[in-house]
A and B are shown apart, each in its own frame.
Chain A
Amino acid sequence: MKKGLVGYAFISPWILGFLMFTAYPFLSSIVLSFTRYNIVTPPVWVGGANYRTLAHGDPLFWASLGVTVKFAMMAVPLSVAAGVGLALLLNLDIRGISLYRTIFFIPSILPSVATSVVFLWLLNPEIGLVNRLLRAVGIAGPEWLQSPQWALPSLVLMSLWGVGGSMVIYLAGLKDIPVYLYEAALIDGATPWQRLRNVTLPMLSPVIFFNVIMGVIGVFQYFTEAFIMTQGGPEDSTHFYALYLFERAWHYLDMGYASAMGWVLFLIIISITGLLFWSQRRWVHYEG
């Protein structure tokens, strides 16, 4: 008992921090979502009015949700494919592999603000490196972030810059696959493609599942890059949900409404996560 108390005492700074800066705001926001609250004066109860407006009276809410869903549908599968592909390449037994792994991992630890600023230049249609390289081979590059058709795909492509983080997890998963499975497959005459499809991917599926869940949670909260690079433009084509939520809270002093948006987002993420958990029976293979 006393030992336990000493342990709790040691982690008390974290517990206090969690209670004050996570649990309390989290629970407060439930109440705030049923109020009108401008941050400065006390909240006033308005019942479900914020949720009613979200459902029926705010086209920007639906537009921003649409942008975010579109982004998620492009970015999550692409980052899984890129992460697994890179991990497979970096799992090869060649000279200098540690260096390659480091090179591919480093971008994922860079601050997203710095990355955004660099990509603003890279994707500049006139003086950016990407279009200059394309021009060198005779291709007229698109307008990237300044085109409503290209801005969202540009951010999707940019999101691959940080794929090193999930790549390391896939790599750990690959290292965990028992060698005897590959030996048995080789004896059965399996081709490399068959080994990938029938051994590697099923054995890696728990890791893929984990990264898909984390990816979905991440893309639905996508904010920094859009805030810095496009501010929601051009033509609202990158007006992400989290960006609109931020505007509602801090630009329009509409914290009650923003709290309601936060809870809708929470329910969306929970629902998608639930769906993914429900679907894992069909495609996630746990050894043993």
Chain B
Amino acid sequence: MQGNTRKRVATALAALTVAGALTITLAPQAHWTTPATAFAARPAPPRIPVYYWHMWSAQWQPVMEHVVAEFNASQTKYEVIPVQVPYGQADTKFLLSAAGGDPPDVMAQWTQAIGSWGQAGVLQPLETKMSPAERRSFSHDTYPVFHDNGWYKGHLYGLPLAVDVYACYYRPDQFRQAGLDPDRFPDTLEALTDVGSRLNQVDSDGRYARLGFLPQGLTRYAPAFGGGFYDPRTHQALLDTPENKRALDYLTQTGQKLGMERVRRFSAGLKSENNGADWPFIDGSFTVTLDGEWRVMQLAQFAPHMEYRVAPLPPPRGGKPLASFASIDYLTIPVGAQHPEGAWEFIKFWSGLDDPERAAAFNASFGWLPSSPRMTNSPAYQAYLRRYPQYQTFVRLAASSNLVTTPPVPYQQFLMDRIQSKDELAERGAVTPNEALAQLERETERERRRRRELGYDQ
């Protein structure tokens, strides 16, 4: 009897185990994204949820959530539900969600791979969602960097939301200490390099205590030399050019003069650049440094009393003024999104496609560049510029036609990884700039050929 009972219990438990396992593995999937509690759907009237994934954290998250709250308050039809995904895993998570048929409705992307993902069929074209008036406004009223990017083979797969450009931040106090006039910032790259060398400081052991100016990174400096990485006529990457070689020569020679090992050891002792409060410029480790516009707000927050100025990177002799590399944040709608119409409404609202003046307040609250002259001249943005006058330099850059971006080729990440790798080889002195660019061209051509043979880019 007891034995029978034990058997029955064991059988029942086994059946429960099987049932549980089957339920977990085979049950139809619910939407696994958890709405942030602050954005739990409002009870009445019922709205269509629009799931929005983003990577903003720290001080940016509440600013972004304010935009969402504004959109939701303006709506009777849609309710945007923001979900923060960690930056390091965002791409993988996003691609898996798209592959699994359960992507978000809209996602903000920083990865410079819009062309790759568009080609791969991950993203929906956005230009088809624009009305003729919106299309005209987008093409003619926005700055070139906004309407020229996010395209791949005639389709707009990501709507540019924010653009990061680079300019020189410098410390007038250190200029004065060195007997230099901070009101006369050098007007050529050669002069800036010379000024930088006069601002270097070394300690008793011969190690750098401060670097006046440390130029590094081919992508950031090539634009000023008239270089870049894309030929719009052939729609192909263009790498081994005289302009890029001049830029790489300059970076390599400047690094060698400073002593690369000493520079590396100096850089290793610095705090993390990623955290605004720890930016080495604040503690005086650099007198002049090339960095992005987001630092303006970080300086206001973390070093409100520090005197600093911003100037465009001066071009080398024969180079291009107001030049910069530009990284872009996009809003995208994945293929398989359940509510693309709601996603598009949100994109229009945030980007200012239908009302640039309203969106100007959003850009100002983020410390982002304006996307159009109309946005620049709006009261909200002008108030922002009065509050942060150093930001004017970046606004001038935003309107510049000398901005270089990630080439819209379907092997974008491969290309950018290789550019970084060859740039590092050259700047460390492992190969000559000539050889680095030749290697880069060869490896890129090999990848192009492979993709063609496999039929990837038809």
Contact = CB atoms under 8 A, between A and B. Distances in A.
A148 B431 CA distance: 13
Contact of B92 (A60, A126, A250): A250
Interface string A6-37: 10011011001100100000000000000010
Contacts of B116: 252-253
Given A40-B95, A40-B98, A57-B450, A236 B421 contact: yes
Interface string B430-458: 10000000000001001001100111100
B450 A53 contact: yes
Contacts, number: 100
Nearest to A239: B421
B269 A46 contact: no
A5 B10 CA distance: 11
Interface residues of A, number: 39
A44 interface: yes
A164 B335 CA distance: 48
Contacts of B421: 233, 236
B455 A125 contact: no
Interface string B145-176: 00000000000000000000000000000000
Interface in B159-197: none
Contacts of B424: 233-235
A49 interface: yes
A90 to B, nearest CB: 36
Contacts of B91: 250-251
A32 to B, nearest CB: 13
Contacts of B10: 6
B413 A127 contact: no
A192 interface: no
User: What's the dominant secondary structure at chain B's contact region?
Assistant: helix
Interface in A181-240: 233-236
A13 B13 CA distance: 13
A221 B32 CA distance: 31
Nearest to B14: A9
Contacts of B96: 39
A233 B449 CA distance: 26
A252 B413 contact: yes
B38 interface: no
Interface stretch (B79-87, B259-267, B297-305, B396-404): B259-267
B58 interface: no
Contacts of B122: 40
Interface in B99-149: 99, 116-117, 120-122
A5 B7 CA distance: 12
Contact of B428 (A13, A53, A234): A234
Contacts of A41: 120-121
Contact of B335 (A40, A59, A126): A40
A223 to B, nearest CB: 14
Contacts of A6: 10-11, 14
A40 B269 CA distance: 43
A111 to B, nearest CB: 15
11 contacts: A12-B17, A13-B20, A13-B21, A16-B25, A39-B99, A40-B95, A46-B454, A58-B446, A143-B264, A143-B265, A235-B425
Interface of B: 10-11, 13-15, 17-18, 20-22, 25, 91-92, 95-96, 98-99, 116-117, 120-122, 261, 264-266, 268-269, 335, 411, 413-414, 417, 421, 424-425, 428, 430, 443, 446, 449-450, 453-456
Given A13-B20, A39-B120, A44-B455, 10 more contacts: A10-B13, A12-B18, A13-B17, A38-B121, A39-B98, A143-B264, A143-B268, A251-B417, A252-B411, A253-B95
Interface of A: 5-6, 9-10, 12-13, 16-17, 20, 36, 38-41, 44, 46, 49-50, 53, 57-60, 124-127, 143, 146, 148, 233-236, 247, 250-253
